[in-house]
Copies of this chain bind each other. A is one copy, B any other.
Amino acid sequence: MNRVIETSAATGSEGLPAAWAAFVEAFDGRLAEMLSDDDLIPARLIESIRYSALAPGKRLRPFVLVRCCEAAGGRPEAAWVPAAAVECVHAFSLIHDDLPAMDDDDLRRGRPTNHRQFDEATAILAGDGLLAWAFKMLAAAPLESGCVVRLAAELADATGPAGMIGGQMLDIQHQNTPPNLDVVRRIHELKTARLFESCAKMGAICADAPPAVEDALARYGRRLGLAFQIADDLLDETSTAAEIGKRTGKDRAAGKQTYPACIGDGPSRIEARRLVDSAVRSLDGFGPEADDLRDLARRIPMRRS
């Protein structure tokens, strides 16, 4: 089995600004500790879980969560465990989305997808295991109980049938149906934007921020997520697998609902920029402690991976 993950986890941070790259390195170290071996966990299962969850990545969602906590006046330390839980949920979703019964992908983050590296049963269980583990982490977070309950409610809602999982259902259902902008928006909102919004809200919850601050950050997260997904749609059309670490041109081949398919590449770029501007404006009430969040949003339309 491929154990390259143990030594190459930092490669996901190449090309990122220094502060973000430093975050990725520190975060990956902590996540690797949290997803550590346990005599009770079957060896093949923990190997499969670590293979996907610790694969090189930009850790965009954890970064948003921790920085939103700081922007809301909280200690970053309070946000690390919730950030790890969100990354587990994200890794779960990638493993299951790639399954043969779903998008049937064989390349992810530059390496074989989980079911190609292991097998389908193991991949299903690794995804299931990561989803359960996310809530185990949250329940053990060094935070006040009321805060943990709010975080769990938020993450479960954003992940569940009215969030990311529902978005994947719509995505699958609307394959090979005529491009429809209302449908694309709904898919992107549930499948992608809801979890970004959740990261922002969870950061605010970790900081015990007042509702107005939580709302402003939630708006930022939702718009960031939508812009991110449009940029993702565009990348699938215009990049090579070597650049983004997953198969490209796949959306069109699979008859996926995407922004470019609905309104074309140029207008999609304009919409992504509009959403980014709107995301940045959501942060008008914040000072320089939100600069990383502004910078992150402005990078979205220039995404190369």
Contact = CB atoms under 8 A, between A and B. Distances in A.
Interface of A: 38, 40-42, 44-46, 49, 92, 96, 99, 101-102, 119-122, 124-125, 127-129, 131-133, 135-136, 138-140, 145-146, 148-150, 152-153, 155-157, 159-163, 165-166, 168-170, 172-173, 190
Nearest to A167: B42
B145 A132 contact: no
A134 to B, nearest CB: 8
Secondary structure at chain A's binding surface: helix, strand, loop or mixed?
Answer: helix
Contact of A41 (B44, B49, B153, B161): B161
Contacts of A190: 40
Contacts of A139: 149-150, 152-153, 156
Given A101-B124, A121-B102, A170-B42, A132 B161 contact: yes
A114 to B, nearest CB: 12
Contacts of A157: 136
Contacts of A156: 132-133, 135-136, 139
A132 B133 contact: no
Nearest to A45: B169
Contacts of A162: 38, 40-41
Closest 3 CB pairs of A and B: A132-B160, A136-B156, A139-B153
Contacts of A92: 128
A49 B161 contact: yes
Given A132-B156, A152-B152, 10 more contacts: A45-B161, A45-B165, A96-B128, A102-B124, A121-B169, A129-B165, A132-B163, A135-B135, A139-B150, A148-B152
B132 A165 contact: yes
A159 to B, nearest CB: 5
A125 B131 CA distance: 12
Contact of A138 (B119, B125, B152, B170): B152
A42 B132 contact: no
Contacts of A121: 101-102, 169, 172
19 contacts: A40-B166, A40-B190, A41-B166, A42-B166, A42-B169, A42-B173, A45-B161, A45-B165, A96-B128, A101-B121, A101-B124, A122-B169, A128-B128, A129-B166, A132-B156, A135-B152, A139-B153, A139-B156, A148-B152
A204 to B, nearest CB: 17
Contacts of A173: 42, 44
Contacts of A129: 160-161, 165-166
